[in-house]
Chain A
Amino acid sequence: MNVPAVSGDDMPFKIIQPALEHGLAARVGRLATANRTPLDTPTFVGVTSRGAIPHLTPDVVSKHTDIRAAYMALEDFIEKSSKRKSPAIFSLPKDGCRPLHAYTATPFTSCTILAPRRTPAVVAQNGNGPKHISVLTSTGFERVTCESFCAAVAQIMPDIVVPPADITFSSHTPSAKRQVFMVQRTQEWLDEFFSHLDPEETLKPSGIHVFAPLLPVGEYLKHLSEDHAVQLSGLTIYDVKILHDLKNHPQLLDLPRLSMESPESPHQILRQVRLGVDIFASPLVNNISDAGIALNFSFAAPKAGSNGIQPLGIDMSSEEHQVSVKPFMEGCGCYACTKHHRAYLQHLMNAREMLGWTLLQIHNHHVMSEFFRQIRMAIADGTFEQKASEFTKCYESELPLGTGVRPRARGYHFKPEAGQPKINKAPWNRLEGEGTPDQVAAAEAAGLAVTGPAAGGSETPLVPEADAAALAKEGFAKIDGA
């Protein structure tokens, strides 16, 4: 599939293997933005938190993953602080490098996608207004107007931008009245977006591509295809049901489709691919790693047969892996599987060492990259439907739930609610008994523990969780007199 990168015209997306049915079937394409490694689709992009793929430093991303595009949220960069007038990301010089790339240390070959909100986005209590959307920064909810969003885009220069839309992110279907508002506001905002950022004068020269948000409301599509089709480089989909309506708008059919409707399993990914989704920006892989699960599936060669239905992943916190020197997944070529084994990962999960999540992220992103690569090959050689149905028969429908301790949740991950139990377990408690020094003091004395921000989770616990018999068994000491 040798397709020249961006040709003379400005369309960054080329369809290589068109869908069989009009607008409603799996297709293969290539998205090439200036200077970046082209993205072969269908594919998934890395989902960042505050500009970083969770647990992966930029060198690890470049060296040990195939992540070549990253989804970022403006709300992750714009918290207020008494120490500075404007966020640091806005004061970076544009000397030959895009500020968003430079600030987040995203590799030069990777493409950035900037949207107003994280995925999943925390629902804002007060909702959006006629002139603003509500976003959640690490210091609280803020209002972002279309104008301020455009100013940020022009300053930090993502490769791809998703303009603001009036979406609540709540699980309820909006009322009919609300839907009218949504359409009106989003249309207005999109018009305003292009008036602030002129496609010919600003966007094209800066190499910024627009993926317009598709509301899950039919009439909005008409406005989009009639007024804006030529200004768009792609579509952002929040509810894949809208794809059924898309076939009535041929002007929009050849645009790449970025899905924000997060699949919960590889089966749901296949379903969306079948509906014509090209790019996934889903927190699925990050969530699986946080749960302590190592993915264990393959699209091209599912391990079917006598063993019955296979699980999609393995709970790496389970004691059954304690002495297993096997790779996380048999035959996997990722860094984690070639250099480490299950026993180490089990130990890291059990000891709550942060490296555990790093290795899982490397492995899980690798498995997902392979999954999509095999999907593209199958679409290209016409075996997609057959393989997808084999895959469905071969694997369990849901991923296993992890039993291990998750990484510490932060304020920007969830909305605190009254009466809610504590999200994070307290890292330290008093030792049993009155008058005993507390554990922090004891551990400080032992030169091991800390107080302050780092006490929030990742320090090495000192008190053994085991009783005397277990200590004796591990060769620590013997029971006195025994």
Chain B
Amino acid sequence: MAATIASQSSAALTFGLVARCSTTRARASCLTLPHGPVQLPMFMPVATQASLKGLTPEQLEETGCRLCLNNTYHLGLKPGQEVLAAIGGAHKLQGWQHNILTDSGGFQMVSLLKLASITEEGVRFLSPHDATPMLLTPEHSISLQNTIGSDIMMQLDDVLVTTSPDAARMRGGHAAKLLQGDDRQRSPGIAIGGLSGGEAKADYCRVVATCTELLPELKPRYVMGIGYPEDLVVSVALGADMFDCVWPTRTARFGNAVTRKIVAVYAAEGETEGLGITRAFVHHNTAKETVSAHLLTLHNVWYQLNLMGEVRDAIIADRYPAFIRQFFANLYPNKADYPEWAVGALRGVGVDLFEDRT
């Protein structure tokens, strides 16, 4: 384990920078949280309703996961704040000894509910069942997350268009679309949110690169909703540390396994789990027995965590540019197929994907 270069602490979080890539903005770091340390860069699987889609907490732990997500909105609906308070929080509810990160809940709320308006006070909306006018405030979100007992919380926020009067500058697409928790003085970490909403990949990269350039170095940077392997590899090069996404576990339930070369339909790399399970058997039960979904979920979570482990090792050994080139070479046998957005974004941090050196 490499020694820590520099660190910064708050009450519940210590961020220690372990290594920096000498070419890109990638960093390897260690985050110490109330339920133990975690190694960055990292991918965090999403256990939406306090359960990772059929995996036992023990199976999740065995993939190496030490920080997973719960969704505030969903836990607020089921089992609800009262039950969570009575049981003593989400860790006790799901028998999870490690860290939990919760979102603010605003995303799901805002996405679905019939909106009335967003003001300085909060979000006014109509209850979907009886159309009663309701008000969701940042205090509600934090209170729920306190009851959940998360190790990392997100504060309720709004896109900059509403919070900043300077709407014209926003439309120029120049500044960060959204910085969740952008209180650089007090917040122990920064989340870059509002992305992964269908924007062009090149725009996404520009926003992340702009943010990481401006952000303080000794705080973790979490890009919300990112999970495709190539997005992870590029985003790390742009200086991001933490990611979450439901894609790996959802695509598992479609019958897809994430693999080194391609996203193979109906396939699992049995060797990765050491369970001796063949692709044929997983295929045999895809969309038929839940066991196949569980096996693929297990595999995909393992794959994502393992990928990030390899990324971290490469950064510490200061061979991340070579790692990136090899990663894209595995993914696209033909260099002509390299996605333009990735080529451009990586060029911006000093990595030429077409270079033959590995």
Contact = CB atoms under 8 A, between A and B. Distances in A.
Contacts of B51: 348, 351, 353-355
B280 A468 contact: no
A340 to B, nearest CB: 5
Interface stretch (B106-114, B212-220, B229-237): B106-114
B58 A481 contact: no
B130 A458 contact: no
B140 A475 contact: yes
Contact of B250 (A357, A442, A450): A450
A463 B112 contact: yes
- Of A58, A344, A347, most buried by chain B (CB within 10 Å of CB) is A347
A467 interface: yes
A450 B254 contact: yes
Contact of A477 (B137, B250, B295): B137
A181 B268 CA distance: 47
A323 interface: yes
B355 to A, nearest CB: 36
A323 B79 CA distance: 9
A43 interface: no
A447 to B, nearest CB: 7
B298 A57 contact: yes
Given A54-B289, A354-B294, A464-B128, A475 B278 contact: no
A325 B92 contact: yes
A479 interface: yes
Contact of B289 (A52, A462, A466): A52
A353 B79 contact: no
Contacts of A53: 291
A424 interface: no
Contact of B144 (A325, A467, A476, A479): A476
- The main secondary structure of chain A at its interface with chain B is loop
Given A354-B54, A450-B250, A474 B285 contact: no
Interface string B77-102: 11111110011000011110000000
B290 interface: yes
Given A323-B86, A468-B134, A477-B135, A58 B93 contact: no
Contact of A102 (B55, B143, B276): B276
Contact of B78 (A92, A347, A446, A463): A347
- Of A55, A354, A442, most buried by chain B (CB within 10 Å of CB) is A354
A56 B291 contact: yes
Contacts of B285: 50-52
Interface in B152-170: none
Contact of B291 (A52, A410, A460, A471): A52
Contacts of A92: 278, 280
Contact of A475 (B56, B58, B76, B111): B76
A92 B144 CA distance: 53
B284 A51 contact: yes
B83 A323 contact: yes
Nearest to A355: B51
B225 A467 contact: no
Interface in A24-58: 49-58
B48 to A, nearest CB: 5
Contact of B93 (A89, A343, A355, A469): A343
A59 interface: yes
B49 A339 contact: no
A476 B76 contact: yes
Given A344-B95, A354-B290, A471 B55 contact: no
A453 B255 CA distance: 9
A294 to B, nearest CB: 16
Contacts of B314: none
Contact of A347 (B79, B82, B124, B288): B79
B246 A468 contact: no
A103 B280 CA distance: 8
Interface string A426-467: 000000000000000011011110101110101110111111
A58 B275 contact: yes
B79 A454 contact: no
A33 B327 CA distance: 48
B59 interface: yes
B290 A103 contact: no
A55 B53 CA distance: 11
B95 A340 contact: yes
A478 interface: yes
A141 to B, nearest CB: 17
B49 to A, nearest CB: 4
A472 B134 contact: yes
B115 to A, nearest CB: 12
A479 B133 contact: yes
A475 B112 contact: no
- Of B122, B133, B288, most buried by chain A (CB within 10 Å of CB) is B288
Given A358-B294, A447-B107, 11 more contacts: A105-B278, A335-B56, A351-B51, A354-B51, A412-B288, A448-B111, A458-B53, A464-B129, A471-B134, A479-B132, A480-B133
Interface of A: 49-60, 77, 88-89, 92, 102-105, 138, 322-323, 325, 335, 339-341, 343-344, 346-348, 350-351, 353-355, 357-359, 407, 410, 412, 442-443, 445-448, 450, 452-454, 456, 458-460, 462-469, 471-481
24 contacts: A50-B285, A52-B289, A57-B291, A57-B294, A57-B298, A92-B280, A323-B86, A348-B49, A350-B78, A351-B74, A354-B51, A354-B54, A354-B290, A458-B253, A458-B290, A462-B108, A464-B77, A465-B129, A467-B132, A474-B81, A476-B76, A476-B77, A479-B135, A480-B133
The 5 A-B pairs of least Cβ separation, nearest first, read A446-B111, A468-B132, A468-B127, A477-B136, A354-B54
